[in-house]
Chains A and B, each alone.
Chain A
Amino acid sequence: MSPHVKHLRPLTIATLITFVAGLSLTFFYAPIELNEGFVQKIFYIHVPLAIVSLCGYVLGGIFGLMYLRTGKRVWDMRSYCAIHMALIFSIGGIVAGSIWAKAAWGHWWVWSEPTLVSYLIVILLFCTYQPLRFSIEDPERQATYAAVFAVVGGAFVPLNFIVVRLSVQYLHPRVFNLEGGNLPGSMALTFYVMLLAVALLFATLMKYEMLAKETRGQTRRLRRRLLGDENVAPIGRSAAPL
């Protein structure tokens, strides 16, 4: 196994167990919310997805910073995988959020909810990460520019949240409160288990992605050695590192 991807098997098992536990708690243990009913249970997947994906973007920024400092390609790979996974998670998060908003407030989209709006802006920004990488051919430069983008984006995430929250406070009275500051114990427990499960899922999937990319590189090197350089098709242009 690759030196950069360790503990994949125990991590996978832990993810599986936590996820099953979290879902069981969600459906069989957490009480049904009085106002919103059964559909409120989407909260236990939506909010963890959102939190984990935002942390994933920031993590991508930190990995990008490490790449800029050290110049080691593995940091570029980590940064790429973190942002890639965070993007997938946040698409899931925003779809789940939209469903919840429709069920709870009667609208698919609510502009007066700052968390939702700033989340959308962050997604719009990070959607450009792949096109940016794809349009730079030189791998060295691709990695550097992507790292700069990741650092800027990672720093942008919290700031954007502050500004959007301020703007909503001024324009609209605050109606909703997403933060479960006063969740009853059973709901809080379920929520934290699900948060842990989604975080573990993020880590596991990210590691699998890294492993897949490294294995692909390794297979290529072996094919080159066996078949000779001219018999292996050159790598097409790609947004992914390697």
Chain B
Amino acid sequence: MRVAWAILRKDLTVELRTLETVPAMAIFTVATFVIFHFGLQRDSLSGQLAAGVFAVSLLFAAVLGTNRLFVAEREQGGFDGFLLAPVDRTAMFLAKSAALFLYLTVLEIIAVPAFGLFAAPPGYGGALGGLIVFLLLVNLAFAILGTLVSAIAVHTRARDLIGPIIGLPLQIPALISFAIGTGKLLAVHTVGPGEVLPVHGAHHPAGEWLLVLALYDVFTALLAYAVFDFLLEE
């Protein structure tokens, strides 16, 4: 645990000093929202469409962060140093996924208001509480799988290509549960022509998707924990 904390602190210090990853992810996400605006030609998104745009933008930003995760270790001999040290290798997994989780969380502090501004889903404020819970869980899935995939991809020759193509299919179950769950949070009633009201209250079944997402988190965490050691062997 102490080792994991040390690696995490190192990563966060590096990130704070260089500002390489998180700002790029944030700019990318906001640019994606704008691109979706032009692609869809809608001033306001609601329901499943809003959730889909948000989820896909986040996933792509996560892929961006995933690509950078182990690059410093690989290029500056961090792996060798870590393998020489008499420490548990799981510490690396814990630290890296915690770092990715934090990157994503910081990114969302920017992305959630930006999405409200650009996509203006009706009832966004009321859905915010549920959205945050979903975001925390989906960050966990993105972080765990991202770390695993990144550790596989970093030793390949075409790591910027291999990472995303392996990662995206693996993230699909998380994306499905996140997109449907938040879609239900952002769902609206059509009251009259051009007039919509958000659906609130106990009757939207987003909670079930929260459960599916949480189970996927647990499953991926166990799986990654089981195989991660093999990826650090020299």
Interface residues of chain A, those whose CB is within 8 Å of chain B, are: 68, 121-122, 124-125, 127-128, 131-132, 135-137, 141, 144-145, 147-149, 151-152, 155-156, 159-160, 163-164, 166-167, 170-171
Cβ distance B127 to chain A, nearest Cβ, rounded Å: 18
Complex contact B216–A135 (CB within 8 A): no
Q: Kindly state whether residue B219 has any CB partner on chain A within 8 Å.
A: yes
Complex contact B212–A145 (CB within 8 A): no
Contact of A136 among B156, B172, B176 (CB under 8 A): B156
Q: Kindly state whether residue B196 has any CB partner on chain A within 8 Å.
A: no
Interface residues of chain B, those whose CB is within 8 Å of chain A, are: 148, 152, 155-159, 161-162, 165-166, 168-170, 172-173, 176-177, 180, 205, 208, 212, 216, 219, 223, 226-227, 230-231, 233
Once bound together, how far apart are the Cα atoms of A156 and B162, in whole Å?
18
Contact of A156 among B155, B161, B170, B208 (CB under 8 A): B170
Once bound together, how far apart are the Cα atoms of A122 and B40, in whole Å?
29
B residues less than 8 Å from A125 (CB atoms): 166, 169-170
Smallest CB-CB A-B distances: 9 pairs: A125-B169, A135-B156, A163-B173, A135-B157, A124-B169, A128-B165, A135-B158, A148-B227, A128-B166
Once bound together, how far apart are the Cα atoms of A44 and B17, in whole Å?
62
Complex contact A148–B173 (CB within 8 A): no
Cβ distance B153 to chain A, nearest Cβ, rounded Å: 8
Complex contact B172–A160 (CB within 8 A): yes
Given contacts A125-B170, A160-B172, contact A141 B180 (CB under 8 A): no
Complex contact B165–A121 (CB within 8 A): no
Complex contact A167–B176 (CB within 8 A): yes
A residues less than 8 Å from B231 (CB atoms): 144-145, 148
Complex contact A152–B223 (CB within 8 A): yes
Residue of B nearest to A122 (CB): B169
- With A121-B172, A135-B157, A155-B223 given, name 14 new contacts (CB 8 A): A125-B169, A128-B169, A132-B156, A147-B230, A149-B166, A151-B223, A151-B227, A152-B170, A152-B223, A155-B219, A156-B170, A159-B219, A167-B176, A170-B208
Cβ distance B183 to chain A, nearest Cβ, rounded Å: 9
B residues less than 8 Å from A159 (CB atoms): 173, 216, 219
| Between-chain CB contacts (< 8 Å), 16 pairs | A121-B169, A122-B169, A128-B162, A132-B162, A132-B166, A135-B158, A135-B159, A135-B162, A144-B230, A144-B231, A149-B166, A151-B226, A152-B170, A160-B172, A164-B173, A164-B176
Cβ distance B50 to chain A, nearest Cβ, rounded Å: 16
Cβ distance B233 to chain A, nearest Cβ, rounded Å: 7
Given contacts A148-B152, A163-B216, contact A170 B157 (CB under 8 A): no
Cβ distance B173 to chain A, nearest Cβ, rounded Å: 4
Cβ distance B49 to chain A, nearest Cβ, rounded Å: 14
B residues less than 8 Å from A147 (CB atoms): 230
